[in-house]
Amino acid sequence: MKLKKVAMGITVVMASSLLLVGCGSNDDSSKDKKSTDTKQTETKKTAKTDGTMTDGTYKLEEKNFDDKGWKGFMSIEVKDGKITKANYDYKNKDGKLKSEDADYEKMMKDKVGTGPQEYLKQLSDSLVKNQSAASVEVVSGATHSSDAFINYANQLIQAAQKADTTTISINNLAKMEDGTYKLEEQNYAHNYRVVFSMDVKDGKITKSDYNYVDKDGKLKSDDADYEKNMKAKSGTGPKEYIPALNKSLVEKQDVAEVDTVSGATNSSNQFKIYAAQLQNAAQNGDTDTIKVYNLVEAE
């Protein structure tokens, strides 16, 4: 199978913090809340901040069936701080798996040269091999599923970093709710960390503000020395590529359609992964800032 490598120079991790909402009468509301809080507490161990993962099984599920009757689900198993197993698949209302659907396999393979029996396993194997969602190899002919896998893998890795085994719920296909959605890396890499906010109004992205900030609050897009050094090497710098990425997201309204900036491929791919995470938050109407405990390799 032909694979296309998604190059990323840094390990990107992401997470989604979801609230469990209890239902019931007014008389039982306090009991339901207490039960819910207890359940959440029981699924969390001591949260880490250094970007390493806690052993356990972490799960994610889409809430809605697509127009072909499928919805995705994914899990990863972590042992000794490493991803030892990943499982990504789709199921229909009868619980049948897409990877076991012979008719779907034949139809897709005839059209694009691959089917769920192959590409689902390849994506999972690639994650275990690379230990980083950003380095997962996109399967030719299954780009949409590959993009979703990379997004979901990042959220599961972030859950593992926070030791949170609560199943992540993705409100796929839902319209984004109005509000401001934020994501911030917590650890500095090469003196900077990512800060990203996205405004949604009438279900559309009206503003994208992606940048990097140092410990003094200085933005990378305002760093003249960084701009000069990067532009000399790759032909572009943060003063150009950061506004270009933000503009592209607002214009395209679709992460998959965001233009990759030549000379800033790694940052472009990182931007897309984080933007997808924020769109998931907007679909849930969750305006809590997403804290990314990114793993920083030795510098």
Residue range 207-266, pLDDT digits in tens:
999 999 999 999 999 999 999 999 999 999 999 999 999 999 999 999 999 999 999 999
Q: Which residues of 189-225 are buried (b: 16+ CB within 10 A; e: fewer)?
A: beebbbbbbbbbeeeebeebebbbbeeeeeebbebee
- Give the distance from CA 214 to its chain's centroid: 23
**pLDDT for res 48:** 83
The DSSP code for 160 is H
SS3 (DSSP) at 34? helix
What is the second-level CATH architecture of the domain 47-173? Alpha-Beta Complex (3.90)
Report how far residue 3's alpha carbon sits from residue 20's, in angstroms, rounded to the nearest whole number: 38
CA Rg value for the chain = 20
Integer CA distances (angstroms), 52 to 41, 78, 141, in order:
20, 11, 33
**pLDDT for res 297:** 79
Same fold, 47-173 and 175-298: yes
- Which residue, 144, 271, 108, 141, is CA-closest to 197? 271
Element (H, E) at 179: strand 179-185
**pLDDT for res 299:** 63
Residue stretches of the chain with pLDDT short of 70? 1-46, 298-299
**pLDDT for res 195:** 98
Task: Find all residues with CB under 8 Å of 41, minimum gap 6, and list them.
Answer: none
DSSP state string for 83-145: EEEEEEEEE-TT--BGGG-HHHHHHHHHHHS--HHHHHHHHHHHHHHHS-GGGPEEETT-HHH
Report CA torsion sign: 154, 156, 157, 158. positive
SS3 (DSSP) at 284? helix
**pLDDT for res 280:** 98
SS3 (DSSP) at 187? coil
Place of tokens 């305002």: 222
Q: Which two tokens stand for residue 179?
A: 């509000």
CATH 3.90.1010.20 matches 175-298: yes
Residue 187 near residue 193, CB atoms below 8 Å: yes
Residue 75 near residue 87, CB atoms below 8 Å: yes
SS3 (DSSP) at 191? coil
**pLDDT for res 298:** 66
**pLDDT for res 29:** 45
Q: What is the pTM of this model?
A: 0.82
**In the chain, where the domains are located:** 47-173, 175-298
